[in-house]
Chain A
Amino acid sequence: MEILFIALYLLFIVFVGYVFILEIDSKKSLWTYEVILLSPSIGAGIVGFLLFYLSIFGISTIYTLSTTTGICIFLMFLHRKRYLFQFKAILSLFRRFFFNPSLYKIDFLLFLVIFIIFSSVITYSLVFPVYEWDAFAIWMLKAKIIFFENQHIASSQYFFSPSLGYTHPEYPLLFPSLISGIFTCIARIDNVLGKVMYPFILLGFICLLYSSARWKLNRTNSLLITCIGISVPAVWQISSVGLADMPLALFYGGSLLYIIKSLQNHNNRIYLILAFTFSVFCALTKNEGFALAIINIFVFSVFRLLAKKDKKSIKEIIVFVLLFAVIILPWHLFSADIPRFQEAYFSRIKYSIIAENIGRLKVIIPEFCKQGWNFYRWGALLLLLICSSLWKPQIIKEKTLYITWILFFLHLFLYIFVYIITPWDLKRLMIMSLHRILIHTVPSIILIISLNLYFIPNYAVK
C-alpha cells in the first residue's frame, strides 16, 4: 500500500509539472516530447518549492498537496481543449517511438543502457543505507525535520541549535521538502523509502539531457549523448547517494538550456519563463544555486541588451530580476536570522580576504585540471568536450555556442572564487567537495558537445 502511495506521489509531481508547462505554453510553442521530458523536473521543482515555502508560512504538507491537486484538476477542466490536444499528441508520439518499424536497433541498445543505469540507481538507493555524510547528516535529517515539524517549521528550534551546526540549518529546503512529501504520503519516516526520490531526480536528469541534446540533434545521437552523460562515474555515483548536488545539476541544466533558447529566440516568451522558473529552483536548492541564478540573470541581461536594446528587452529584464527577487526574498528574510555556525561565504567577499588568499590559485587550478582528467570519476567526458570543440574551432563564433561556453566558464570561476575565500582547510575541502560540485557543470558540457556536433555540417542534424 505504501508503495502505491509513493507511486501516486511521484505521478502527482509529473502531473503538476505537466499542468504548469501546458498552462504557460498557451501558444503551443513547445514540442510534445519537450513537454513530456520537462514534466518530472519542473514538477519536482514546483512541488518542492510549494512544500518548502508554504511550510514556512505555516501551511501543512497535506493541505499543500491536496490544494495543488485541486488547482491542477480545475485548470485541466478549464483548458480541456488544450489538454485533449496535447494528450492526443503524446499518444501519437509514443506510437511513433515504440511501434516505428524504422527504429534503429542502435536506438534500442542505447535505450537499454539508459534503462540499466537507471535501474541500478533504483537498486542501489533501496539496498544501501544513506552513508554519504552530507546526505544523512544534512539532507535526510532536514527531510525528517520538515515532516515532523511541518507547518511549525518557522518556529523550529532546529534552526538555532548549535549542537546541530553540522547540518547547516541555513541551507535551503527545496530538496528535503520533496523527500518529506514521501514521508507525508506514507504517514511515517522510512529511511529506505525516502530514498525513492534519488532515482526520480535521475529520471528528470536523463530527460533533461536528452531534451537538450534533442534540441539540435537526431534521435540516435541524442540518446548516445544522454548515455555518455549519465554513464560518467561521478554522475552515476552522486545520483545514488542522496546529495542535493544532483537536483541542483538538474535545475541548473534546465535554466541553462532555456536561457540559451530564449537568447536565440527573442519572441518566444515561454523559454524565458522556463529559464526563470529553473533559476528560482536553483536558488532554493543549494546556496551555490543562488550564485548560479545570479550569473544566469547577468548573462541573459547582457546578451539580450546586446542583441536588442528596445523597451521590450528592458522590460523583460526588469520583470525577470524583480520577480526573482520577490520569490527569493521570503527565504532570505527567514534565513537571515539563522545563526551561521560554520562558514558565511557572503561575509567573506572582502578585498582583504581575496588578496590574502589569491595565492591559493596555485593549488586550485591544478586540482581542477587533475579532476577533469580523473577518468575514474569523469570517464572520457573532458576528452570528448575538447575533441569535439577542436574538430572545427571556428564554430565558436556561433552565438548559442559561445554563450554556453561563457556560462560554463563563469560557473567554474564561481567555484574557484569560493575556494579562494573559504575559511576551511583548502586541500581537505577540495578532496571532499570538488567532484560533487563539478557535477553541476555536466549539463553545460553535454550541451556544448551537442552543439559542437550540430555545427559539424550534415553530421547529426535532426
Chain B
Amino acid sequence: MISLKKKKLITGFLFLTLFINLGCNFFYSDTVARRLITHFSGQKDTFIADYSSADQLLNSLKNTNGNIFIDFKGFTHTDFEPIAALLYFRAVYLYYPRKVFVADPSQIITLQGVEFLYDNFVVTKSFLEKNKIKTIFTLSHSHKKGINWKIKRL
C-alpha cells in the first residue's frame, strides 16, 4: 500500500508529463499545433511555402494533356538541386497517371533525385513520340530572375 501523499505525487507527475508534452507542441515550430495556429492566424508558414510555391508553379500544367517532359535549365548548383528534385517528384505525384520525364526512362533516380540534371540528356523526336509526350515544360533558373517557366504543347 502506498500513502495518499505518494499517490498524489505520482498523479501529479503524470499530469506534469502531459503538460510538458502539450507545451512542447506549442513552443516548437515544426508541430501540428504551431502550424495550425500559423495557418489560421494568416501568417506565412515558411516550411509549407516551398511546397505551395512548387504546386503553384506546377499548376500551370493543369490545362495540358499527355505525358510531360520537364526540361531543367540552370539548376546544376548545390543550392538549386533540391528545388529541381522537389519539382520533379511533386510533378510525378500530382500528375499521375500522366507520366513525367526528366531524362531517359532507364535513368535511375534515387534518394538525391538530382542525377538527371547532370546527364546532358538531349530530347529527340523519336523519344517524344515513343513516350507519348505532349507537353514540354521548361524551367529556367537564374540568380537574378529566379525561376521562369515555358510550356510547349506538341
B21 close to chain A: CB less than 8 A: yes
> Which one of B21, B102, B111 contacts A381 once the chains associate, using CB atoms below 8 Å?
B21
Interface pair B36/A166, CB less than 8 Å apart:
no
Chain A: CB-nearest residue to B97: A148
Known pairs A144-B97, A379-B24; list 11 more (Cβ under 8 Å). Answer: A113-B22, A120-B36, A123-B36, A137-B93, A163-B109, A166-B110, A228-B18, A231-B22, A236-B32, A342-B110, A459-B10
Interface pair A137/B21, CB less than 8 Å apart:
no
User: Once the chains are docked, how many angstroms separate the CA of A236 from the CA of B153?
Assistant: 44
Interface pair A236/B25, CB less than 8 Å apart:
yes
Interface pair A120/B93, CB less than 8 Å apart:
no
- Which of B48-56, B122-130, B139-147 makes up part of the contact surface? B48-56
Taking the nearest CB of chain B, how far is it from the CB of A233, in angstroms? 5
Taking the nearest CB of chain B, how far is it from the CB of A257, in angstroms? 20
Chain A: CB-nearest residue to B55: A129
Interface pair B24/A233, CB less than 8 Å apart:
yes
A residues whose Cβ falls under 8 Å from a Cβ of B: 113, 120-121, 123-124, 127-131, 133, 136-137, 140-141, 144-145, 148, 161-166, 189, 191, 221, 224-225, 227-228, 231-233, 236-237, 240, 341-342, 375-377, 379-381, 383-384, 387, 391, 424, 453, 456-459
- A236-B33, A384-B13 known; A165-B109 Cβ under 8 A: yes
- A236-B25, A387-B13 known; A163-B31 Cβ under 8 A: no
B39 close to chain A: CB less than 8 A: yes
**Please, which residues of chain A bring their CB within 8 A of the CB of B55?**
129
- A124-B36, A379-B17, A459-B10 known; A233-B31 Cβ under 8 A: yes
Interface pair B14/A228, CB less than 8 Å apart:
yes
B73 close to chain A: CB less than 8 A: no
B residues whose Cβ falls under 8 Å from a Cβ of A: 1-2, 7, 10, 13-18, 20-22, 24-25, 27-28, 30-33, 35-36, 39, 47-48, 51-52, 55, 89-90, 92-94, 96-97, 101-103, 105-111, 113
Interface pair B111/A424, CB less than 8 Å apart:
yes
Taking the nearest CB of chain A, how far is it from the CB of B78, in angstroms? 14
Interface pair B2/A380, CB less than 8 Å apart:
no
> Which one of A191, A224, A342 contacts B15 once the chains associate, using CB atoms below 8 Å?
A224
In order of increasing CB-CB distance, the 8 nearest A-B pairs are A379-B21, A231-B21, A376-B28, A380-B20, A162-B108, A131-B51, A380-B17, A136-B93
Interface pair A459/B2, CB less than 8 Å apart:
yes
**Please, which residues of chain B bring their CB within 8 A of the CB of A380?**
16-17, 20-21
User: Once the chains are docked, how many angstroms separate the CA of A57 from the CA of B15?
Assistant: 50
> Which one of B15, B25, B113 contacts A233 once the chains associate, using CB atoms below 8 Å?
B25
Interface pair B21/A233, CB less than 8 Å apart:
yes
Secondary structure of the A side of the interface?
helix
Interface pair B17/A162, CB less than 8 Å apart:
no
Chain B: CB-nearest residue to A130: B93
Chain A: CB-nearest residue to B107: A163
Chain B: CB-nearest residue to A125: B32
User: Once the chains are docked, how many angstroms separate the CA of A383 from the CA of B13?
Assistant: 10
**Please, which residues of chain A bring their CB within 8 A of the CB of B16?**
380
Query: How many contacting A-B pairs (Cβ < 8 A)?
Result: 133
Taking the nearest CB of chain A, how far is it from the CB of B4, in angstroms? 10
> Which one of B7, B35, B39, B108 contacts A163 once the chains associate, using CB atoms below 8 Å?
B108
Taking the nearest CB of chain B, how far is it from the CB of A179, in angstroms? 13
User: Once the chains are docked, how many angstroms separate the CA of A130 from the CA of B86?
Assistant: 13
> Which one of B10, B32, B102, B107 contacts A121 once the chains associate, using CB atoms below 8 Å?
B32
User: Once the chains are docked, how many angstroms separate the CA of A459 from the CA of B25?
Assistant: 29
Interface pair B21/A228, CB less than 8 Å apart:
yes
User: Once the chains are docked, how many angstroms separate the CA of A459 from the CA of B6?
Assistant: 9
Interface pair B107/A166, CB less than 8 Å apart:
no
User: Once the chains are docked, how many angstroms separate the CA of A127 from the CA of B45?
Assistant: 13
User: Once the chains are docked, how many angstroms separate the CA of A407 from the CA of B33?
Assistant: 32
**Please, which residues of chain B bring their CB within 8 A of the CB of A341?**
108, 110
- A120-B36, A162-B106 known; A232-B21 Cβ under 8 A: yes
Interface pair B89/A137, CB less than 8 Å apart:
yes
**Please, which residues of chain B bring their CB within 8 A of the CB of A191?**
94
Most buried by A among B20, B24, B51, B108: B24
Taking the nearest CB of chain A, how far is it from the CB of B59, in angstroms? 12
Taking the nearest CB of chain B, how far is it from the CB of A218, in angstroms? 12
> Which one of B7, B90, B110 contacts A165 once the chains associate, using CB atoms below 8 Å?
B110
**Please, which residues of chain B bring their CB within 8 A of the CB of A166?**
89, 109-111, 113
**Please, which residues of chain A bring their CB within 8 A of the CB of B36?**
120, 123-124, 127
Chain A: CB-nearest residue to B102: A163
> Which one of A129, A163, A384 contacts B51 once the chains associate, using CB atoms below 8 Å?
A129
Interface pair B92/A137, CB less than 8 Å apart:
yes
> Which one of A136, A164, A231 contacts B109 once the chains associate, using CB atoms below 8 Å?
A164
Interface pair A237/B30, CB less than 8 Å apart:
yes
**Please, which residues of chain B bring their CB within 8 A of the CB of A123?**
36
A-B contact pairs, 7 of them (CB 8 A): A124-B35, A129-B51, A129-B55, A137-B89, A141-B96, A165-B110, A237-B30
Interface pair A342/B24, CB less than 8 Å apart:
no
- A162-B108, A165-B110 known; A120-B21 Cβ under 8 A: no
- A236-B32, A458-B2 known; A384-B17 Cβ under 8 A: yes
Interface pair A165/B51, CB less than 8 Å apart:
no
**Please, which residues of chain A bring their CB within 8 A of the CB of B22?**
113, 231
Interface pair B89/A136, CB less than 8 Å apart:
yes
Taking the nearest CB of chain A, how far is it from the CB of B115, in angstroms? 10
Interface pair A148/B96, CB less than 8 Å apart:
yes
Interface pair A128/B39, CB less than 8 Å apart:
yes
**Please, which residues of chain A bring their CB within 8 A of the CB of B31?**
233, 236-237, 376
